[in-house]
Structure 1
């Protein structure tokens, strides 16, 4: 019997090839874009990608998780795949046509005195969303078949093409146009598109990825199993609410920020600054996404085993430890990490620690969510996410007009922390798992304490001195975790060996 934690870690690393590496490539776009465009222009990118994330939930309506659930329970897996894919193909077509017809109205509604949203941008974004939705089921099928390498290759291909085209348009064509060098590259750049080249590059990458998945997509049979579809929709409707509420927590702040601020010019700039600083806090989110791709099929696959709940408890502990390490590694190295974004955006760095803590809470929420997914009580997931959404909306509406994007960051932390507590309490009632709460609390307290220690010498003039001292604190964290966990890891390893 192999070590389940080790197996999950291995799968997370493999899926990381398709999530972490691509995200890092996108990470490298941040310094390019924040130096090529002013905050107001970058705000267009931040807002529209937030809207894309929000609409992705509507276009996919939880069908990915629903596919995993029915695929693990039914013998006729081909029928499950066909039903899920045909459903998404149909609805994506309808949703896309509606939004494309309304594209000019949407663009006019989003535009501000210092930023024009083209209807062309809206159409490109709609096509990005539709192609993402269509690809979600073929990608889910690859995950269910444990074809992690193929999954990762296709994800990596998508982002490499997206990255390469964006760099080409911005770092070569735009630079040639700005310098008026008279080259072919300068003629290829249209300043009216500007930041819109990011959406065009993304769309081209999606279309090429769809082409590589064409065999799986064209295998769909146009004889819909309506009985199965009704059962799948019955399972998935709470996930739609959960997903929408989740997107409210994750992206609504960047969508409504300029709607809540009275000065629309300042709001457009704030939107760009907040969006750029949000990218710095995304390191933990990248790990969570890679973990999620590996964990969802892992959790469902372990559900029937006798010691499954003990495994889930171990996964939670070591997941949190790694997230806390990422928090410290990021926040204690902000003195040099800040150069990822342009200097015009540095005024927003104060929100990075808040957002990092929020993302740690989000990771815990995801781990806790397994209880209602395995027990089929997905309605509780909806209740939890709705609670977070209410917290997000209330704090943003009350405080954004006065405190701008700082209120957005605190709203995100409050929402995820509230969801975490609520999910734990309900989980212990309906699907009790003996998490080592004491250890989780101690490690979290150590992390916060070390961060507070770093603030005591944050006023030092020497940046290098601060960096050295901060990384010593990270070393102390690693040493303390090692001393506290080494015996547990040896015990876990020996227990697995004895079962071989």
Structure 2
């Protein structure tokens, strides 16, 4: 199969599962924001931010390391897998034990002394997900996208189903008749904690469904390979941690950097986190591309036309991302109903966050240079620079501008990382990217968004009509520049 078609088909399968699964999962956002106050929703956002950091530590970058050494042909794929899996099992079981023993001190430290169970539940979710990550990597490497997608969707479906059961079933019954059987099953002291219980049950189901991928996975351990695997993968932990700093530190830091009382700070965190979810479409596409793109880039690297193909991939990736940016920003008056009315004051940050995530997607494409040349330490340096920018902007802007400063921190960070990664890529693994097209499409997206603000806000045109007209214009320009050439290539 044509490599671009294969990448597109794999991305489509991962994308459909991600879109369907995450769509189900993100149905929780309106459910929770219409049910709970911003300060309560802020607890969920806070803990998931912490979990983002720990998830990177507990996977040790071994997913990328597994792809690298499996594709390298120096060891049998089964040996590479067994070696990585043993590390994951030992480390995560030790983490789970530590979390159980230290749950109360950790809860005290995080200012949630009445809920040490949150610590234990979140730790179990992390351990189950981290152990499952290497099994998912095996599915990706074996091009078993359909099974990957099925497990992901079932996991998320159970998570959403349990949340609906807890909140629309038990909580509603408790509020209507506390003495009823379902009403007695709802514990108000747990409250928002039912979100963690649902996630924990779904993560356990996922691990059980991945059992066939664990069968025989402990045979063939190689200690020499382990040292090489760890040496390659540990810089990926630094990269991952820096990436989480860039992606999630804002939600972990808002509680501490905003200049209000704790209750108000948690409410502001809840508002920002809910509006952040409106960048879901961009995030989903980037995630689907990552799932398909990482094994594709490694597998295709030995072909003579690899660099030309990578350039074409970036071009069409940017086109898709600009489309998603416009879809949300031009029709934000519709997307706003995704969150409860108490959260909509934060909608002004959505365009900034969308464009920041678009730049993150470009960085994902550009970062192949350090993965394919084994310069993961340099890749880590780029991520650390981005993390330093994030921290600096957060410390500077949040106390003065609130959560809007957090959104601009994302944009500043990813802009710098794109520039630095491109320059380093030109030196170590030059790819003939078409910068005129890439920048042209970025400018087009910003220009159409700016035009919509003028037409709607200043001139009073109907938002839906303006959005539709500008989307048609975008498609027409894309077809004129790249569409006809693509059709000609498919016809040859």
Instruction: After TM superposition, give the deviation of residue 224 of structure 1 in Å.
Output: 3.7
TM-score by length of 2: 0.97
Structure 1 residue corresponding to 2:180, chosen from 179, 183, 186:
183
For 1:64-123, what per-residue CA distance to the aligned partner results, in whole angstroms no more than 9, with x for missing partners?
A: 1101111111341111110000000001112222233222122223237xxx76111111
TM-score by length of 1: 0.95
Structure 2 residue corresponding to 1:483, chosen from 461, 477, 480:
480
Structure 2 residue corresponding to 1:159, chosen from 150, 156, 159:
156
- Partners of 1:103 and 1:186 in 2: CA distance: 29
- Partners of 2:325 and 2:237 in 1: CA distance: 30
Instruction: After TM superposition, give the deviation of residue 201 of structure 1 in Å.
Output: 0.5
CA contact (8 A) 1:355 1:412 kept: yes
What is aligned with 2:329?
Answer: 331
- Partners of 2:227 and 2:242 in 1: CA distance: 23
Instruction: After TM superposition, give the deviation of residue 466 of structure 1 in Å.
Output: 1.1
Structure 2 residue corresponding to 1:434, chosen from 429, 432, 435:
432
Is 1:68 matched up with 2:70? no
Give the 3 Å change call, closer, same or farther, for CA 493–461 of structure 1 in structure 2. Answer: closer
What is aligned with 2:294?
Answer: 296
Instruction: After TM superposition, give the deviation of residue 220 of structure 1 in Å.
Output: 3.1
Give the 3 Å change call, closer, same or farther, for CA 117–469 of structure 1 in structure 2. Answer: farther
CA contact (8 A) 1:86 1:222 kept: no
CA contact (8 A) 2:456 2:466 kept: no
- Partners of 1:173 and 1:277 in 2: CA distance: 27
What is aligned with 2:450?
Answer: 452
For 1:472-493, what per-residue CA distance to the aligned partner results, in whole angstroms no more than 9, with x for missing partners?
A: 1111111111111134314533
SS in 2 for 1:192: coil
Is 1:256 matched up with 2:248? no
Where do 4+ consecutive residues of structure 1 move more than 6 Å?
A: none
SS in 1 for 2:187: coil
For 1:9-61, what per-residue CA distance to the aligned partner results, in whole angstroms no more than 9, with x for missing partners?
A: 11111112332211111111111100110000000011111111111000001
- Partners of 1:308 and 1:347 in 2: CA distance: 46
- Partners of 1:402 and 1:318 in 2: CA distance: 38
- Partners of 1:454 and 1:105 in 2: CA distance: 51
For 1:301-345, what per-residue CA distance to the aligned partner results, in whole angstroms no more than 9, with x for missing partners?
A: 110100000100000000000000000000111101100100000
Structure 2 residue corresponding to 1:143, chosen from 140, 143, 149:
140
Structure 1 residue corresponding to 2:244, chosen from 217, 239, 247:
247
What is aligned with 1:87?
Answer: 87
What is aligned with 1:21?
Answer: 20
Instruction: After TM superposition, give the deviation of residue 431 of structure 1 in Å.
Output: 0.7
- Partners of 2:197 and 2:431 in 1: CA distance: 46
The count of corresponding residues between Structure 1 and Structure 2 is 490
CA contact (8 A) 1:14 1:149 kept: yes
Is 1:215 matched up with 2:212? yes
Instruction: After TM superposition, give the deviation of residue 223 of structure 1 in Å.
Output: 6.6
For 1:381-401, what per-residue CA distance to the aligned partner results, in whole angstroms no more than 9, with x for missing partners?
A: 101110110000001111211
Aligned CA RMSD, in angstroms, stands at 1.6
Structure 2 residue corresponding to 1:200, chosen from 197, 203, 212:
197
Structure 1 residue corresponding to 2:468, chosen from 455, 466, 471:
471
What is aligned with 1:53?
Answer: 52
SS in 2 for 1:6: helix
Structure 2 residue corresponding to 1:265, chosen from 263, 266, 270:
263
- Partners of 1:231 and 1:151 in 2: CA distance: 28
- Partners of 2:426 and 2:149 in 1: CA distance: 35
What is aligned with 1:379?
Answer: 377
- Partners of 2:96 and 2:412 in 1: CA distance: 34
Question: Gapped runs of 5+ residues in structure 2?
Answer: none
Instruction: After TM superposition, give the deviation of residue 186 of structure 1 in Å.
Output: 1.2
What is aligned with 2:397?
Answer: 399
- Partners of 1:401 and 1:105 in 2: CA distance: 28
What is aligned with 2:9?
Answer: 10
For 1:158-182, what per-residue CA distance to the aligned partner results, in whole angstroms no more than 9, with x for missing partners?
A: 1011110011101111111122264
What is aligned with 2:98?
Answer: 98
SS in 2 for 1:306: coil
